[in-house]
Chains A and B, each alone.
Chain A
Amino acid sequence: MRSLRGWGFFNMQHRLDSTFARLKAAQEGALVTFITAGDPSIEGTPALAAALAAAGADIVELGIPYSDPLADGPSIQMSSQRALEAGVTPDTVLQMVRDIRTHTEVPIVLMTSYNLALKYGLERFAHLFAEAGADGAILTDLPPEEAAPWKTAAEKHGIATIFLIAPTSTPERIALIAKNTTGFIYCVSRTGVTGTRTELPPELQALLSRIRSASDKPICVGFGVSQPSHVTQVIKNADGAVIGSALVDFLHETDGQPGRREKLDALVHSWKAATRET
């Protein structure tokens, strides 16, 4: 048991930390791509994650769909709904993670609401997902004040605990969240729910500076990041950019269409190329 835990911890260090170390050395930002597990299809999800990694995604975020998400806009809400209707459960996602690991060593970060992990059993959730090959988890409605039981379970099994910082976070909270975070800090670009926007908020760079001065952990920016130009702007002061709704919408709209794989590759290439423009 002890050696297994050590192995899990090593994996997390290995995959997330080594990814950021490698990108830093190459002077690139991380391209983090979010997909909802099971949308457009359950069978296609592992291959999709592998395709994203092959096309240049540095980290894959896998959303475990929840019936009542508070922080998601229409794109991801509808995507979650489709996945739930297709029968996706945390157990299905566990198998997907195992399948993804047969294709690629890309770091896998789970994203979901706290209740699903709670109901699964925090210890069991961390244990089984770490064993399957997941590297971290973002529980979007779990602030650090409520996270002690989750942190204990996650640390034991080597799952990075990624917390969110928002534009409304005070300096005290930024310090608290940074302290509790492992893997990377998820910076929410704006007040609001997930979803594509035409522009990034002008206050973002100041927010990133505030986080930077409080922590030297990697920072990835999400919520409203959809275009290569956004990615370029983001990585000026951050270590990575998270693309979510734009990708989820693309996958839904092009599902089953001929030539989708090429279009997907081109899309990922365009985002990845933007992480190199410093």
Chain B
Amino acid sequence: MATKMAGSTAEIAAHEIVKTNSGKDANKYVADAQGRFGGEFGGRFVPETIIPALDELTAAYELARADPAFQAEFDYYAKNYVGRPTPLFFAEKMTRELGGAKIYLKREDLAHTGAHKINNALGQILLAKRMNKPRIIAETGAGQHGVATATACALFGYECIVYMGEEDVKRQSLNVVRMKLLGATVRPVSSGTKTLKDALNEAMRDWVTNVADTHYIIGTVAGPHPYPTMVRDFQRVIGIEARQQHLEETGGLPDAVVACVGGGSNAMGIFYPFVHDETVKLIGVEAAGDGVETGRHSATLTMGSKGVLHGSASYVIQDDYGQVLATHSISAGLDYPGVGPEHAHFKESGRAEYVSITDNEALDAFQWTARSEGIIPALETSHAFAYIRKLAPTMSPEQTIIVCLSGRGDKDVDAVAARLGLL
């Protein structure tokens, strides 16, 4: 079915296993049996009702992961449906303007549905098929994961229900229409802050109720074990390709890899295949909203503290008593008070560095990227671009940066137009 591609996920997975099972720090970047990263982050903090479903999912995923037929099926759809591999594009104008490191863009915006989210939705729908779960639920913030899940469900003929905060339904209306056209039911969530975290709460409550026939496709590297590992594995195709493409193009590895971080799936996807390449700096860019000092932000790793949210131990934006605080970001996809536990581990171990970018800086970078490269990036992704505007000039022309261009910005055009007075 699938032709053998250089750098297919199965091939690289084998390479990673060899890497991770040797040496003193053998399993430093692999979760333990309880889904703990670095012994501290991750795990399973959910109601008992869904623990057996997580056990079932873990077992099904372990089988699938070791099954070449599953990998071949994933690779087939990744190639012929999603359009992988996505290109690695040398951003010549940006590079010249910033006058420092060479900038390469990993074009996940060119994946079908316009963002990296489809990689995970595809992997999980193939898994749901194996588990005979006919009903699919998902949460969404920016709507990209909702669209990706609705797309995968349309392709494979599954019932699809997407939970989305009322606030996000308003600011991402294009994606709401797309989901409906794809046959999904969009359920607006009016509890709490009416954003991504509440959509996740509501999806979790649906799952607790309908666990027998339902698979929950979590859209990021958060949630209870095995989600952080599983979603990372489906997304690491980004980094596997980017690493290979960069090697082919330049003969070496990049000096830095930069990606935006909300829950953290595109970042983990591109970071992970580089974890053992110690010379490669991994930099995650969080949303500083109005500025981290104002309290109106979503910079969980930068400003949060250790806690448990949505099933895993990680960093959380919370008050002194552990109540989750309202967050803010111009980008719905980053407007989340939690973050994937493996990022918490990367922060703690120093393997990755996390910085933050304000709404205004992201808005500027949104326009700058459009004019510089003829690419309108998602507002989420614009945070990564805003950071390389600061980073690249501090580096030398012999050095290179890969930016994960996680998604396209069509969905944000209305919000940006309103904010900039373009209409």
Contacts and interface: CB of A to CB of B under 8 A. Distances in A.
Interface in A146-176: 146, 163-170, 173
A61 to B, nearest CB: 16
B318 A115 contact: yes
Interface in B188-231: 191-192, 197-198, 201, 204-205, 208-212
A118 B321 CA distance: 9
Interface string B292-313: 0000000000000001111100
A115 B307 CA distance: 6
A275 interface: no
Contacts of B311: 70, 141
B45 A114 contact: yes
Contact of B47 (A71, A90, A177): A71
A116 B321 contact: yes
A115 B44 contact: no
Contacts of B52: 166, 168-170, 173
A167 B198 CA distance: 26
A69 B324 CA distance: 11
A166 B47 contact: yes
A96 to B, nearest CB: 15
B309 A168 contact: no
A193 B208 contact: yes
Nearest to B326: A67
Nearest to B197: A68
Contacts of B49: 71, 166-168, 188, 191-192
Given A164-B48, A166-B49, A167-B49, A77 B322 contact: no
Given A173-B51, A177-B48, A70 B205 contact: yes
Interface string B307-333: 111110000101011111000000000
Interface in A64-99: 66-73, 77, 84, 89-91
A68 B47 contact: no
Summarize B's interface: helix, strand, loop or mixed.
mixed
Interface in A19-72: 66-72
Contacts of A71: 47, 49, 205, 208
Contacts of A163: 48
Interface string B41-67: 001111111111101000000000000
B34 interface: yes
A57 to B, nearest CB: 24
Summarize A's interface: helix, strand, loop or mixed.
loop
B48 A165 contact: yes
A262 interface: no
A11 to B, nearest CB: 25
Contact of A145 (B34, B208, B211): B34
Contacts, number: 116
Contacts of B204: 70
A141 B47 contact: yes
Nearest to B46: A141
Given A90-B321, A119-B322, A120-B322, A70 B201 contact: yes
A142 to B, nearest CB: 6
Contacts of A120: 321-322
B205 A68 contact: no
A165 B204 CA distance: 18
A118 B308 contact: yes
Contact of B192 (A68, A118, A143): A68
Interface residues of A, number: 40
Contacts of B198: 68
Contacts of A141: 45-47, 308, 311
Given A89-B321, A115-B316, A193-B205, A70 B192 contact: no
Contacts of A70: 46-47, 201, 204-205, 208, 310-311
Nearest to B212: A191
A229 interface: no
Contact of B323 (A73, A84, A169, A188): A84
Contacts of A215: none
Give the most central of A71, A84, A89: most B CB within 10 Å. A71
A78 to B, nearest CB: 9
A270 interface: no
A184 to B, nearest CB: 15
Nearest to A192: B209
A67 B50 contact: no
A68 B45 contact: no
A142 B324 contact: no
A145 B44 contact: yes
A140 interface: yes
Contacts of A114: 45, 308
Nearest to B201: A68
B347 to A, nearest CB: 19
Contacts of A142: 45
Interface string A95-139: 000000000000000000111101110000000000000000000
Given A70-B201, A164-B47, A191-B211, 10 more contacts: A115-B307, A115-B318, A119-B322, A140-B47, A141-B47, A143-B44, A143-B51, A166-B47, A168-B53, A191-B212
Interface of A: 66-73, 77, 84, 89-91, 113-116, 118-120, 140-143, 145-146, 163-170, 173, 177, 188, 191-193
16 contacts: A66-B323, A70-B201, A70-B208, A84-B323, A91-B321, A118-B307, A141-B47, A143-B46, A145-B43, A146-B34, A146-B43, A166-B49, A168-B48, A173-B52, A188-B48, A191-B209
The 4 A-B pairs of least Cβ separation, nearest first, read A119-B322, A166-B49, A192-B209, A115-B322
